Copies of this chain bind each other. A is one copy, B any other.
Amino acid sequence: MNKTIGFIGLGVMGKSMAGHLLDAGHTLHVYTRTREKAADLLARGAVWEDSPAAIAQACDIVFTIVGFPQDVDKVYLGDNGLVANAKPDAILVDMTTSKPDLAVRIAAAVAARGGRALDAPVSGGDKGAREGTLSIMVGGDRVAFDAVLPLFEIMGKNIVYQGLAGSGQHCKLCNQIAIASNMLGVCEAIAYARQAGLDPETVLKSISAGAAGSWSLSNLAPRMLAGNFEPGFYVKHFIKDMAIAAESADGLRLDTPGLDLALALYRKLAAAGCEDDGTQALYKLYA
Contact = CB atoms under 8 A, between A and B. Distances in A.
A106 to B, nearest CB: 17
Interface string A171-204: 1011111111111111111111101111100110
Interface string A198-223: 11001101110111111111010000
Nearest to A100: B196
Interface residues of A, number: 72
A97 interface: no
> For the complex formed by this chain, how many copies does it contain in all?
2
Contact of A213 (B193, B214, B257): B214
A4 B73 CA distance: 74
A135 interface: yes
Given A175-B212, A181-B183, 8 more contacts: A137-B206, A163-B199, A170-B197, A173-B196, A174-B193, A175-B207, A195-B253, A196-B252
Interface of A: 100, 123-125, 128, 135, 137, 158, 160-163, 167, 170-171, 173-193, 195-199, 202-203, 205-207, 209-217, 219, 233, 245, 248-249, 252-259, 261-262, 265, 286
